Structure 1
Amino acid sequence: MIKNRLSKVGIPVDSLFFCGVLLVFLMGGLILFKQLQYILNTLCNRLQLKLTLPGMGNRGRFL
């Protein structure tokens, strides 16, 4: 239904709508990426003692 209305209005509104959706999607992706980065950092910090097992050396910190 939305596509039919946009095709009736014309190309500029369609492109504007597409740009708006793209911007919202990019902002959401950035926020999700930052949240994932924070979660991964906290998980790595909590698991650092478990990852750095004897015999692994410094490789455990980069897992």
Structure 2
Amino acid sequence: CEDALRKNKTLIGPDQREYHRELERNYHRLKEALSPLTSRRIPQLYTDLLPHTSARDSLTRTSLQKIEA
């Protein structure tokens, strides 16, 4: 929306300036009203996908086995 408003401002004529100002005011009101939702961190989105492993657990027994050729 913000990009569209910026672009629109360069394209409109003098007869549309008041309408454009109203669009900008409404956009800022909407942005302010939605800010609690858009700025909130959702903990589930920031958790690791894989469980943490300690250095000892990072090597499995199969990785330590000798390969017979």
**Would you say same fold, with TM above 0.5?**
no
Give the structure, 1 or 2, with the largest relative contact order (CA under 8 Å, sep 6 or more). 2
Instruction: Calculate the TM-score normalised by the size of structure 1.
Output: 0.37
Instruction: Calculate the TM-score normalised by the size of structure 2.
Output: 0.35
